[in-house]
Structure 1
Amino acid sequence: MSRKPSRTPGRPAHSPAAPCPCGLAAPYGECCGLFHRGAAAAPTAERLMRSRYSAFAVGDQDYLLRTWSAATRPPALELDPRVRWTGLQILATTGGTAFHTEGTVDFRARYRLSGMDGEQREKSAFTRADGHWVYVGEAG
Protein backbone atom coordinates (compact mmCIF):
# COMPACT_ATOMS: atom_id res chain seq x y z
CA MET A 1 0.00 0.00 0.00
CA SER A 2 1.42 3.35 -0.99
CA ARG A 3 1.38 6.13 1.56
CA LYS A 4 1.85 9.83 1.05
CA PRO A 5 4.13 10.96 3.88
CA SER A 6 3.55 14.13 5.82
CA ARG A 7 6.69 16.19 5.59
CA THR A 8 8.15 18.63 8.04
CA PRO A 9 6.95 22.11 7.03
CA GLY A 10 9.58 24.00 5.06
CA ARG A 11 11.45 20.86 4.00
CA PRO A 12 11.24 20.03 0.28
CA ALA A 13 10.47 16.50 -0.89
CA HIS A 14 13.57 14.40 -1.55
CA SER A 15 14.06 13.47 -5.20
CA PRO A 16 13.85 9.71 -5.93
CA ALA A 17 16.98 10.04 -8.09
CA ALA A 18 19.02 11.79 -5.37
CA PRO A 19 21.55 9.86 -3.29
CA CYS A 20 19.87 8.16 -0.35
CA PRO A 21 20.56 9.98 2.92
CA CYS A 22 21.27 6.63 4.64
CA GLY A 23 24.60 6.36 2.81
CA LEU A 24 23.96 3.22 0.77
CA ALA A 25 24.79 3.34 -2.94
CA ALA A 26 21.22 3.15 -4.31
CA PRO A 27 19.25 6.32 -5.08
CA TYR A 28 16.66 7.37 -2.49
CA GLY A 29 13.69 6.14 -4.57
CA GLU A 30 15.16 2.63 -4.76
CA CYS A 31 16.51 2.58 -1.21
CA CYS A 32 14.80 4.14 1.81
CA GLY A 33 12.17 5.80 -0.37
CA LEU A 34 10.66 2.33 -0.97
CA PHE A 35 10.08 1.97 2.76
CA HIS A 36 8.90 5.54 3.29
CA ARG A 37 6.18 5.26 0.68
CA GLY A 38 5.08 1.80 1.93
CA ALA A 39 6.15 -0.15 -1.18
CA ALA A 40 8.32 -2.48 0.95
CA ALA A 41 9.23 -3.14 4.57
CA ALA A 42 12.75 -2.97 5.94
CA PRO A 43 14.10 -6.56 5.94
CA THR A 44 16.55 -6.06 8.84
CA ALA A 45 16.92 -3.91 11.93
CA GLU A 46 19.87 -2.13 10.30
CA ARG A 47 17.85 -1.26 7.19
CA LEU A 48 15.05 0.03 9.43
CA MET A 49 17.61 2.17 11.30
CA ARG A 50 18.92 3.52 7.99
CA SER A 51 15.39 4.24 6.75
CA ARG A 52 14.50 5.99 10.00
CA TYR A 53 17.63 8.16 9.71
CA SER A 54 16.58 8.98 6.14
CA ALA A 55 13.09 9.82 7.40
CA PHE A 56 14.63 12.35 9.78
CA ALA A 57 16.70 13.72 6.88
CA VAL A 58 13.68 14.16 4.58
CA GLY A 59 11.25 15.14 7.36
CA ASP A 60 8.92 12.12 7.10
CA GLN A 61 7.23 12.22 10.51
CA ASP A 62 4.57 9.66 9.56
CA TYR A 63 7.17 7.02 8.74
CA LEU A 64 8.98 7.60 12.01
CA LEU A 65 5.78 7.12 13.99
CA ARG A 66 4.67 4.16 11.87
CA THR A 67 7.95 2.31 12.49
CA TRP A 68 8.03 3.00 16.23
CA SER A 69 6.86 0.28 18.62
CA ALA A 70 3.33 0.94 19.88
CA ALA A 71 4.62 0.29 23.42
CA THR A 72 7.09 3.20 23.33
CA ARG A 73 5.82 5.47 20.52
CA PRO A 74 4.98 9.06 21.49
CA PRO A 75 1.52 10.35 20.50
CA ALA A 76 3.09 12.91 18.14
CA LEU A 77 6.45 13.90 16.79
CA GLU A 78 7.67 17.36 15.85
CA LEU A 79 10.87 17.57 13.84
CA ASP A 80 13.00 20.70 13.86
CA PRO A 81 13.18 21.88 10.22
CA ARG A 82 16.42 23.76 10.99
CA VAL A 83 18.32 20.49 11.59
CA ARG A 84 20.10 19.15 8.49
CA TRP A 85 21.19 15.54 8.85
CA THR A 86 24.55 15.15 7.11
CA GLY A 87 25.68 11.55 7.54
CA LEU A 88 25.10 8.17 9.14
CA GLN A 89 27.69 5.68 10.31
CA ILE A 90 26.66 2.22 11.50
CA LEU A 91 29.15 1.20 14.18
CA ALA A 92 27.83 -2.25 15.17
CA THR A 93 24.77 -4.49 14.95
CA THR A 94 23.58 -7.49 16.93
CA GLY A 95 20.78 -9.79 15.75
CA GLY A 96 18.21 -8.00 13.65
CA THR A 97 18.19 -10.34 10.65
CA ALA A 98 15.41 -12.46 9.16
CA PHE A 99 16.39 -15.15 11.70
CA HIS A 100 15.94 -12.90 14.76
CA THR A 101 13.07 -11.30 16.64
CA GLU A 102 15.24 -8.61 18.24
CA GLY A 103 18.28 -6.60 17.29
CA THR A 104 20.36 -3.57 18.14
CA VAL A 105 22.09 -1.02 15.96
CA ASP A 106 24.84 1.19 17.33
CA PHE A 107 25.15 4.29 15.16
CA ARG A 108 26.50 7.81 14.85
CA ALA A 109 24.35 10.39 13.05
CA ARG A 110 25.84 13.74 12.08
CA TYR A 111 23.85 16.93 11.71
CA ARG A 112 24.20 20.67 11.24
CA LEU A 113 22.18 23.20 13.24
CA SER A 114 22.62 26.97 13.29
CA GLY A 115 25.98 26.72 11.54
CA MET A 116 27.35 24.21 14.04
CA ASP A 117 28.12 20.54 13.42
CA GLY A 118 26.94 17.95 15.92
CA GLU A 119 26.36 14.26 16.25
CA GLN A 120 23.98 11.88 17.94
CA ARG A 121 25.31 8.54 19.11
CA GLU A 122 22.86 5.82 20.15
CA LYS A 123 22.52 2.10 20.47
CA SER A 124 18.95 1.50 19.34
CA ALA A 125 16.81 -1.53 20.14
CA PHE A 126 14.49 -3.07 17.55
CA THR A 127 11.93 -5.87 17.64
CA ARG A 128 9.52 -7.52 15.26
CA ALA A 129 5.84 -6.60 15.54
CA ASP A 130 3.38 -8.32 13.21
CA GLY A 131 6.32 -9.51 11.10
CA HIS A 132 7.85 -6.03 10.65
CA TRP A 133 10.84 -4.45 12.33
CA VAL A 134 10.02 -1.54 14.66
CA TYR A 135 12.13 0.82 16.73
CA VAL A 136 11.74 0.30 20.50
CA GLY A 137 14.10 2.92 21.90
CA GLU A 138 17.59 3.29 23.21
CA ALA A 139 19.07 -0.07 24.21
CA GLY A 140 20.00 -0.44 27.87
Structure 2
Amino acid sequence: MSKHAFPTDCPCGSGKPYKDCCFLYHMEKETAPTAEALMRSRYAAFVLKKADYLLFSWHPDTRPQTLDFEGDTAKWVGLSIIATEGGGVHDNEGTVEYVARFKIGGKAAKVAEKSRFQRVKGWWKYVDGEMEE
Protein backbone atom coordinates (compact mmCIF):
# COMPACT_ATOMS: atom_id res chain seq x y z
CA MET A 1 0.00 0.00 0.00
CA SER A 2 1.43 3.38 -0.96
CA LYS A 3 1.85 6.24 1.48
CA HIS A 4 -0.01 9.50 0.87
CA ALA A 5 1.93 12.76 0.70
CA PHE A 6 -0.67 14.18 3.07
CA PRO A 7 -2.62 12.97 6.12
CA THR A 8 -5.53 10.58 5.66
CA ASP A 9 -7.86 12.41 8.05
CA CYS A 10 -8.18 16.17 7.74
CA PRO A 11 -6.59 17.92 10.73
CA CYS A 12 -9.50 20.41 10.86
CA GLY A 13 -11.69 17.88 12.67
CA SER A 14 -14.36 17.58 9.96
CA GLY A 15 -14.11 13.79 9.90
CA LYS A 16 -13.49 13.89 6.14
CA PRO A 17 -10.36 12.70 4.35
CA TYR A 18 -7.86 15.57 3.92
CA LYS A 19 -7.92 15.20 0.09
CA ASP A 20 -11.71 15.86 0.14
CA CYS A 21 -11.58 18.68 2.67
CA CYS A 22 -8.99 21.38 3.41
CA PHE A 23 -6.58 20.13 0.73
CA LEU A 24 -8.83 21.75 -1.89
CA TYR A 25 -8.56 25.11 -0.10
CA HIS A 26 -4.84 24.70 0.59
CA MET A 27 -4.24 24.27 -3.13
CA GLU A 28 -6.23 27.51 -3.68
CA LYS A 29 -8.46 25.64 -6.15
CA GLU A 30 -11.63 26.29 -4.17
CA THR A 31 -12.66 29.02 -1.78
CA ALA A 32 -13.91 28.08 1.67
CA PRO A 33 -17.70 28.62 1.49
CA THR A 34 -18.00 30.00 5.04
CA ALA A 35 -15.88 31.81 7.60
CA GLU A 36 -15.92 28.65 9.75
CA ALA A 37 -14.65 26.54 6.85
CA LEU A 38 -11.82 29.07 6.36
CA MET A 39 -11.03 28.95 10.10
CA ARG A 40 -10.85 25.15 9.95
CA SER A 41 -8.64 25.28 6.85
CA ARG A 42 -6.30 27.75 8.56
CA TYR A 43 -6.05 25.49 11.61
CA ALA A 44 -5.19 22.57 9.31
CA ALA A 45 -2.59 24.80 7.62
CA PHE A 46 -0.97 25.49 11.01
CA VAL A 47 -0.91 21.74 11.73
CA LEU A 48 0.71 21.07 8.34
CA LYS A 49 2.90 24.22 8.45
CA LYS A 50 1.52 25.64 5.19
CA ALA A 51 2.75 29.23 5.48
CA ASP A 52 1.87 30.09 1.86
CA TYR A 53 -1.79 29.23 2.41
CA LEU A 54 -1.92 31.07 5.72
CA LEU A 55 -0.62 34.20 4.02
CA PHE A 56 -3.01 33.71 1.07
CA SER A 57 -5.99 33.38 3.41
CA TRP A 58 -5.03 36.48 5.45
CA HIS A 59 -6.71 39.81 4.68
CA PRO A 60 -4.30 42.02 2.69
CA ASP A 61 -4.71 44.92 5.15
CA THR A 62 -3.55 42.86 8.18
CA ARG A 63 -1.36 40.14 6.63
CA PRO A 64 2.25 39.93 7.81
CA GLN A 65 5.02 39.96 5.20
CA THR A 66 6.18 36.43 6.03
CA LEU A 67 5.47 33.46 8.27
CA ASP A 68 8.27 31.21 9.44
CA PHE A 69 7.74 27.81 11.02
CA GLU A 70 11.46 27.18 11.53
CA GLY A 71 12.02 26.07 15.11
CA ASP A 72 8.27 25.68 15.71
CA THR A 73 7.83 22.61 17.90
CA ALA A 74 4.09 22.96 18.53
CA LYS A 75 2.12 19.75 18.06
CA TRP A 76 -1.46 20.76 17.34
CA VAL A 77 -3.93 18.34 18.91
CA GLY A 78 -7.42 19.70 18.30
CA LEU A 79 -9.77 22.47 17.26
CA SER A 80 -13.10 23.33 18.87
CA ILE A 81 -15.46 25.84 17.30
CA ILE A 82 -17.30 27.61 20.13
CA ALA A 83 -19.55 30.00 18.21
CA THR A 84 -20.02 31.65 14.84
CA GLU A 85 -21.78 34.86 13.89
CA GLY A 86 -22.46 35.66 10.24
CA GLY A 87 -19.84 34.24 7.92
CA GLY A 88 -22.34 32.21 5.91
CA VAL A 89 -22.43 31.59 2.18
CA HIS A 90 -24.40 34.82 1.59
CA ASP A 91 -22.52 37.02 4.10
CA ASN A 92 -19.51 39.26 3.57
CA GLU A 93 -18.36 39.37 7.20
CA GLY A 94 -18.37 36.99 10.10
CA THR A 95 -16.75 35.94 13.34
CA VAL A 96 -15.65 32.54 14.57
CA GLU A 97 -14.81 31.88 18.21
CA TYR A 98 -12.54 28.87 18.65
CA VAL A 99 -10.10 27.06 20.90
CA ALA A 100 -7.06 25.39 19.33
CA ARG A 101 -5.10 23.03 21.57
CA PHE A 102 -1.44 22.17 21.20
CA LYS A 103 1.54 20.77 23.07
CA ILE A 104 5.05 22.14 23.30
CA GLY A 105 7.65 19.97 24.99
CA GLY A 106 4.86 17.76 26.31
CA LYS A 107 3.07 20.67 28.02
CA ALA A 108 -0.52 21.38 27.03
CA ALA A 109 -1.45 24.88 25.86
CA LYS A 110 -4.23 26.55 23.90
CA VAL A 111 -5.12 29.51 21.76
CA ALA A 112 -8.62 30.88 22.30
CA GLU A 113 -9.68 33.63 19.93
CA LYS A 114 -12.69 35.36 18.45
CA SER A 115 -11.59 35.86 14.84
CA ARG A 116 -13.00 38.31 12.29
CA PHE A 117 -13.34 37.35 8.63
CA GLN A 118 -14.28 39.29 5.48
CA ARG A 119 -14.79 38.37 1.85
CA VAL A 120 -12.29 39.88 -0.56
CA LYS A 121 -13.06 39.35 -4.25
CA GLY A 122 -15.23 36.33 -3.33
CA TRP A 123 -12.65 34.67 -1.04
CA TRP A 124 -12.99 34.55 2.74
CA LYS A 125 -9.98 36.12 4.47
CA TYR A 126 -8.88 36.19 8.12
CA VAL A 127 -8.78 39.82 9.30
CA ASP A 128 -7.75 39.68 12.94
CA GLY A 129 -8.84 38.34 16.30
CA GLU A 130 -9.28 39.04 19.97
CA MET A 131 -7.52 36.58 22.26
CA GLU A 132 -9.78 35.11 24.92
CA GLU A 133 -8.76 34.24 28.47
Query: Common fold, TM-score beyond 0.5?
Result: yes
* 1:63 lines up with 2:53 in the alignment: yes
- Aligned pairs for 1:32-71 within 5 A: 32-71=22-61
Distance 2:6 2:101 in 1: 18
Aligned equivalent of 2:100: 109
Which residue of 2 is the match for residue 9 of structure 1?
none
CA distance in 2, matches of 1:129, 1:35: 15
The normalised TM-score by structure 2 is 0.90
Report the Cα distance in structure 2 between the residues aligned to 1:93 and 1:139, rounded to whole angstroms.
14
TM-superposition CA deviations, 1:38-81 (whole Å, max 9, x none): 22110000000000000000010000000000000000111253
2:6 corresponds to which residue?
14
Counterpart for residue 23 of structure 1: 13
State the SS of the aligned residue for 2:37: helix
User: What residue in structure 2 maps to residue 97 of structure 1?
Assistant: 88
Higher mean alpha-carbon deviation, 120-129 vs 74-83, is at 74-83
Flag as ranges the 4+ runs of structure 1 deviating above 2 A.
none
Paired residue type of 1:85: W
Q: TM-score, normalised by structure 1?
A: 0.86
Give yes or no for the alignment of 1:84 onto 2:75: yes
Gaps spanning 5+ residues in structure 1: where?
A: 1-12
CA distance in 1: counterparts of 2:68 and 2:94, whole angstroms: 26
Task: Tell me the matched-pair count.
Answer: 126
Q: Distance in 2 between matches of 1:118 and 1:64?
A: 21
Structure 2 unaligned residues grouped into runs of 5+: none
Structure 2 letter corresponding to 1:44: T
Q: What do residues 91-128 of structure 1 show as CA deviations (whole Å, max 9, x unaligned)? A: 00000012211000000000011111111000000000
